[in-house]
């Protein structure tokens, strides 16, 4: 556990948002929440009206005597100032970080993992101390973010923090954002800004849907032709090894895992441009049409390629998981190809092309297993009855019968993450964050054991209609609604209180130079400086 | 008339957009249009394959001998380089601007007006000349934008322009964008960036919906309390006289009129905070409830205030028109007030509160008429039978029976502008620009005379859900679809060609640092540099 000094309701001058929830025709001015601007809401918050003033001159973060993170561990201090820009000082105020597991900074050299839930606690018990306890450095990072959210300005502009005790831990271990760099290339700057914002919202997984039909921006050392031919542009629209390394390290320093997705056998048009014979030639009658379909599952060269390719990927990306896709395989091209037809016959698959798909996926999973990585797959792979390792994560994305699917996947004993209700690329007029907020991931029928298999969810922002020009305001604060659902307690469902806190949280993001769009008519004390 | 050198289809390397129109399940790569990246499409374009290379060292714009704009007229040269950043040079290439009406730069000191249609023509007849003829400086500005759109890069990155002849004029004289600075305050920087983008799209009216219920950011010299009390913040969220002047001048230099809207008697909650007795006190039973309704139409002080206020407005804003609003008046509060009830009785209005509304509007129109300004009003004012000056512009905004309304308004002999199909604050998934593009403003039943009364339209971006963080990408290139509908010939309706040109046009806006969002999966040679 870990505790954080809590924020009493700010004075009226703190977040004087004149925003309205269009619940009635009368426009309501957004109120200050009793929980201030905390987002996502911690598990346990004890409030007090006693406030301390903070000044900029002498605020310090120190390791507590008891802390296993020794004096050489400068990372927290570094992070604190570099990423959030809102840690403040007082002549006496000391944030006392304590009780890391592990020796010195070892823990901080690790990759963040999903297994243990980081349970931070933070308290501002008596002036001049705040105490932050966390078993892992990742929890301490979350605690520092929470600490920053407790600071508010009074009507004179002075920074204040109230006596507060917080015990906190995330409800779900996997809290992700999917970004798609294939439909549109996303400049590194955009990815980093969104990782920063993810940290502000306590997201801990960046699901990088890095390649797809439209383009292959990943520059592979082993197969450089893939991006040379498959990227929108071979030099300006690629992610070099140095770029990828930078993204991973930037994310790691913020407690965020990077799970790359290399989706096959469908969604691979761009792969075919730089890798001959990888895709299935489609036929028009008795002749090749010139078009190509999914990965060709009947050639040995395909599996040789995949072996080499995923060997590289498993080295480049340190996370324990790779997302292997497996969604939306179109059988039309396979059906048109006489060699495929013959293979189907030989294998006794009849006309059931999902058996061919499973044949491919099974071989792919075996290949990836040899790299000692776990894998995530889209739900179709499970639906088609492919044999999966017990630690496979099944990603549920299809709307309509989501609860039933969750029931089935967990019933079969697989770990699951949920995205179906959180496709943020779909937009509509009004406050759709409320729809995302109201989702209850465990609403499906199932035993306690089944529910435990749901380790979290991801907000997906597919790339057809977003690029550097509009991605960030379209993602935030809509994804913040998902962030709270995945972090806070199940009973945190007061939409009106959420509106008040989220209004303040979005202004904080804006003040930190993130163009998070407004919830409704309102203003921020510091408006966005860009265009 | 005025002619512009035209662009031949660029080489494949020019705008190699791998974008797709989701018309079929097969994804189509965006093609180069034979009209290159021209947007909006000029009225008459003659193409040639003969191209000239341009270099940066010696490009010049000169006044032709015949030009009435003498050598002291540096404005075009200035504008050219300052606003569009894409005029190029060749060792021999000269853009020869000619035939302005008026003496020297007099014309350029004027305000742009809507009355005459600026008819520019541009030709690149033989190397090394391009000739730009326009009767007014405003047409020449449009011609320079068109000229810049003719320049394209070949596969070696060299800038080229093809032998081209263009005769051009706008189909409609009033081509506007409505921005709302009341629901959210829009920093000046955002307004200027969007004026710049309006010029790129040949919009010529900025309809500034400057105040509304939510806030009153206009700092009035006569009534400073209005913004002191009614703005979101009295110092950081106001438009000072200097700000307003800057907006007007920035717009004027780009051929854009600024038509301010001061909407009454509804939409005035924010006015009431700084002006006692202006709004109607609502009653709960026999006692005032503390809430206020529309402007109080029964007090002489109301009209004294309006006289002084609009005297100031008519001085601050040089345009010949003021938009007076008049939409969505809620009668609930008026009905509750015993003094209003008594007045209704005295006037013999019975229970018809639209008569009271008309009473107010009639007096307001008389007041504004004394300032020698024309006025625009929302359609309800016409619908309610208020007596209007013949030169009143009726603004049609209500969807559903738009054609019928257009028929009625023009049938009564009033000049009309259309916004109903172009409410860009409503968003949905996918390429909604096509919906805006397909609108035909003259589709209603009416005589030729009636159709001539339709002088144009406006794309409206109401402010409930937009501020500095997301306004610009939400407006562009969706408003560009409206721009072409209002400028180009009626038969310019090829949606596929429009997609190709608009894809290139949006990349040009991005290259000019405007975060115009993508139409679909694609890339731009130069992606947006911001976040």
Cβ contacts of B527 on chain A, cutoff 8 Å = 185, 187, 236-237, 467-468
B529 part of a folded domain: no
A430–B190 C-beta distance less than 8 A = no
pLDDT tens digits, A322-365: 999 999 999 999 999 999 999 999 999 999 999 999 999 999 99
Rounded to the nearest angstrom, the minimum Cα separation between B249 and chain A is: 20
Interatomic CA distance for residues A248 and A256, integer angstroms: 8
Q: Is the peptide bond before A169 cis (omega within 30 degrees of 0)?
A: no
- Exposed (0-12), middle (13-18) or buried (19+): which is B372, by Cβ within 10 Å? exposed
- Looking at the structure, do residues A467 and A420 belong to the same domain, yes or no? yes
pLDDT band for position B122 (50/70/90)? Answer: confident
Nearest chain B residue to A232 by CA: give it: B523
Q: What is the 3-state secondary structure (H, E, C) of A192-223?
A: HHHHHHHHHCCCCEEEEECCCCCCCCECCCCC
A9 part of a folded domain: no
Which among B167, B189, B209 is the end of a domain? B167
Q: Which residues contact A286 (CB under 8 A, 6 or more apart)?
A: A338
B375 part of a folded domain: yes
DSSP secondary structure letter of residue A32 = P
In the predicted model, what is the mean pLDDT of residues B428-450? 98
Supply the range of the domain harboring residue B80.
44-167
DSSP-derived 3-state class of residue A292: strand
- Looking at the structure, do residues A160 and A192 belong to the same domain, yes or no? no
Q: What is the 3-state secondary structure (H, E, C) of A429-458?
A: CCCCHHHHHCCCCCCCCCCHHHHHCEEEEE
Which among B167, B192, B223 is the end of a domain? B167
Of A18, A184, A514, the CB nearest to B522: A184
- Looking at the structure, do residues B251 and B289 belong to the same domain, yes or no? yes
A521–B214 C-beta distance less than 8 A = yes
Q: Is the pLDDT of residue B517 over 50?
A: yes
B530 part of a folded domain: no
B32 part of a folded domain: no
A523–B185 C-beta distance less than 8 A = yes
A233–B523 C-beta distance less than 8 A = yes
Rounded to the nearest angstrom, the minimum Cα separation between A491 and chain B is: 28
pLDDT at res. A285? 94
The residue annotated as part of the active site, out of B66, B155, B249, B328, is: B328
Q: Is the pLDDT of residue B127 over 90?
A: no
- Looking at the structure, do residues A420 and A287 belong to the same domain, yes or no? yes
Low-confidence residues of chain A, pLDDT below 70? 1-29, 56-59, 62-110, 115-118, 125-128
CATH of the domain at B159: 3.30.379.10
B244 part of a folded domain: yes
What are the strands, taking DSSP E only, across A246-297?
Answer: 257-261, 279-284, 287-295
Lookup result for tokens 């341009």: B54
pTM equals 0.90
Are the C-beta atoms of A280 and A340 separated by less than 8 Å? yes
pLDDT at res. B94? 61
pLDDT tens digits, A21-62: 333 333 445 788 999 999 999 999 998 888 888 876 656 776
pLDDT at res. A125? 62
pLDDT band for position B93 (50/70/90)? Answer: low
> Does A128 or B8 have the greater pLDDT score?
A128
A465–B187 C-beta distance less than 8 A = no
Q: Which of A280, A296, A309 is nearest to A367 (CA)?
A: A309
pLDDT at res. A28? 47
Nearest chain B residue to A527 by CA: give it: B468
Are the C-beta atoms of A388 and A365 separated by less than 8 Å? yes
Cβ contacts of A520 on chain B, cutoff 8 Å = 464-465
In the predicted model, what is the mean pLDDT of residues B246-255? 96
A501 part of a folded domain: no
pLDDT tens digits, B480-510: 999 999 999 999 999 999 999 999 999 999 9
- Looking at the structure, do residues A298 and A424 belong to the same domain, yes or no? yes
Strand partners, A415: A393
Tokens representing B203? 């919009």
pLDDT at res. A118? 64
CATH of the domain at A432: 3.20.20.80
Interatomic CA distance for residues A518 and A509, integer angstroms: 11
Of B190, B517, B520, the CB nearest to A469: B517
Nearest chain A residue to B236 by CA: give it: A525
What domain count does chain B have? 2
> Does A2 or B29 have the greater pLDDT score?
B29
Tokens representing A323? 């997302």
- Looking at the structure, do residues A253 and A304 belong to the same domain, yes or no? yes
- Looking at the structure, do residues A440 and A299 belong to the same domain, yes or no? yes
In the predicted model, what is the mean pLDDT of residues B155-181? 93
pLDDT tens digits, B281-307: 999 999 999 999 999 999 999 999 999
Candidates A266, A331, A464, A505, partner chain B, best to mutate (most B CBs within 10 A): A464
Rounded to the nearest angstrom, the minimum Cα separation between B247 and chain A is: 16
ipTM confidence: 0.90
Are the C-beta atoms of A5 and A50 separated by less than 8 Å? no
- Looking at the structure, do residues B423 and B440 belong to the same domain, yes or no? yes
Query: What percentage of chain B exceeds 90 in pLDDT?
Result: 73
A18–B469 C-beta distance less than 8 A = no
Which among A139, A167, A195 is the end of a domain? A167
Active site residues of A: 328
pLDDT at res. B19? 31
A429–B527 C-beta distance less than 8 A = no
Average pLDDT, chain B: 87
pLDDT at res. B347? 97
Nearest chain A residue to B330 by CA: give it: A25
pLDDT at res. B204? 97
Q: Is the peptide bond before A52 cis (omega within 30 degrees of 0)?
A: no
Q: Which of B305, B282, B294 is nearest to B225 (CA)?
A: B305
pLDDT band for position B134 (50/70/90)? Answer: confident
DSSP-derived 3-state class of residue B527: coil
- Looking at the structure, do residues A262 and A365 belong to the same domain, yes or no? yes
Candidates B473, B507, B514, B520, partner chain A, best to mutate (most A CBs within 10 A): B473
pLDDT at res. A63? 66
Tokens representing A306? 């995949």
Lookup result for tokens 């002036």: A127
Rounded to the nearest angstrom, the minimum Cα separation between B522 and chain A is: 6
A505 part of a folded domain: no
Candidates B469, B480, B503, partner chain A, best to mutate (most A CBs within 10 A): B469
- Looking at the structure, do residues B250 and B268 belong to the same domain, yes or no? yes
Tokens representing A372? 């000692």
DSSP-derived 3-state class of residue A495: helix
B232–A185 C-beta distance less than 8 A = no
Cβ contacts of B474 on chain A, cutoff 8 Å = 470
Rounded to the nearest angstrom, the minimum Cα separation between B402 and chain A is: 22
pLDDT tens digits, B381-431: 999 998 888 889 999 999 999 999 999 999 999 999 999 999 999 999 999
- Looking at the structure, do residues B247 and B127 belong to the same domain, yes or no? no
- Looking at the structure, do residues B156 and B212 belong to the same domain, yes or no? no
Candidates A507, A527, A529, partner chain B, best to mutate (most B CBs within 10 A): A527
B474–A193 C-beta distance less than 8 A = no
Nearest chain B residue to A425 by CA: give it: B429
Q: What is the 3-state secondary structure (H, E, C) of B219-241?
A: CCCCCCHHHHHHCCCCCCCCECH
- Looking only at the bridges linking them, the beta strands covering A121-123 and A165-167 are antiparallel
pLDDT band for position B67 (50/70/90)? Answer: low
pLDDT tens digits, B205-233: 999 999 999 999 999 999 999 999 999 99
Q: Left, alpha or beta for A267 (phi > 0: left; psi -120 to 50: alpha)?
A: left
Q: Is the pLDDT of residue B9 over 60?
A: no
Rounded to the nearest angstrom, the minimum Cα separation between A25 and chain B is: 11
A237–B468 C-beta distance less than 8 A = no
pLDDT at res. A112? 83
């Amino acid at each position: 556990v870990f505790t954080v000094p809590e924020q009493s309701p700010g004075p009226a001058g703190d977040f004087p948002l004149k925003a309205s929830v269009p619940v009635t025709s009368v426009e309501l001015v957004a109120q200050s929440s009793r929980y201030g601007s905390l987002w996502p809401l911690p598990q346990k918050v004890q409030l007090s009206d006693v406030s301390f003033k903070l000044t900029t001159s002498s605020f310090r973060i120190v390791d507590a005597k008891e802390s296993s993170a020794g004096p050489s561990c400068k990372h927290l201090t570094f992070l604190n100032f570099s990423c959030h820009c809102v840690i403040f000082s007082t002549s006496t105020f000391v944030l006392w970080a304590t009780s890391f597991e592990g020796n010195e900074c070892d823990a901080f050299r690790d990759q963040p993992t999903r297994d243990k839930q980081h349970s931070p606690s933070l308290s501002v018990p008596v002036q001049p101390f705040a105490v932050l306890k966390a078993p892992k450095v990742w929890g301490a990072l979350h605690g520092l973010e929470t600490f920053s959210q407790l600071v508010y300005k009074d009507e004179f502009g002075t920074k204040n923090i109230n006596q507060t005790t917080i015990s906190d831990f995330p409800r779900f271990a996997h809290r992700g954002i999917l970004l798609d760099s294939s439909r549109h290339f996303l400049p590194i700057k955009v990815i980093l800004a969104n990782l920063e914002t993810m940290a502000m919202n306590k997201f801990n997984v960046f699901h990088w849907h890095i390649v797809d039909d439209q383009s292959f921006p990943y520059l592979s050392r082993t197969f450089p032709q893939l991006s040379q031919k498959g990227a929108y542009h071979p030099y300006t629209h690629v992610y070099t090894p140095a770029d990828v390394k930078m993204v991973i390290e930037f994310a790691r320093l913020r407690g965020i895992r990077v799970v790359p997705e290399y989706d096959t056998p469908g969604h691979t048009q761009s792969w075919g441009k730089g890798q001959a014979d990888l895709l299935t030639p489609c036929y028009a009658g008795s002749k090749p049409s010139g078009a190509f379909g999914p990965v060709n599952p009947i050639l040995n060269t395909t599996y040789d390629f995949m072996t080499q390719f995923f060997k590289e990927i498993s080295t480049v990306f340190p996370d324990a998981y790779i997302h292997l896709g497996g969604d939306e395989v179109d059988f039309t091209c396979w059906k048109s190809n006489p060699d495929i037809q013959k293979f189907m016959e030989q294998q006794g698959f009849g006309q059931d092309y999902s058996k061919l798909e499973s044949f491919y996926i099974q071989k792919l999973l075996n290949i990836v297993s040899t790299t000692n990585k776990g894998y995530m797959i889209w739900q179709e792979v499970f639906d088609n009855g492919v044999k999966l390792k017990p630690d496979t994560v099944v990603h549920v994305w299809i709307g309509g019968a989501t609860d039933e699917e969750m029931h089935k996947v967990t019933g079969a004993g697989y770990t699951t993450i949920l995205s179906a209700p959180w496709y943020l690329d779909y937009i509509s007029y009004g406050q759709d964050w409320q729809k995302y907020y109201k989702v209850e991931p465990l609403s499906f029928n199932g035993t306690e054991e089944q529910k435990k298999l749901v380790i979290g969810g991801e907000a997906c922002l597919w790339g057809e209609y977003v690029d550097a020009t509009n991605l960030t305001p379209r993602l935030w604060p809509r994804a913040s609604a998902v962030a709270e659902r995945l972090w806070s307690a199940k009973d945190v469902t007061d939409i009106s209180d959420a509106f008040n806190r989220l209004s303040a949280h979005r202004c904080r993001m804006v003040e930190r130079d993130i163009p998070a769009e407004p919830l409704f008519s309102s203003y921020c004390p510091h408006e966005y400086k860009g265009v």
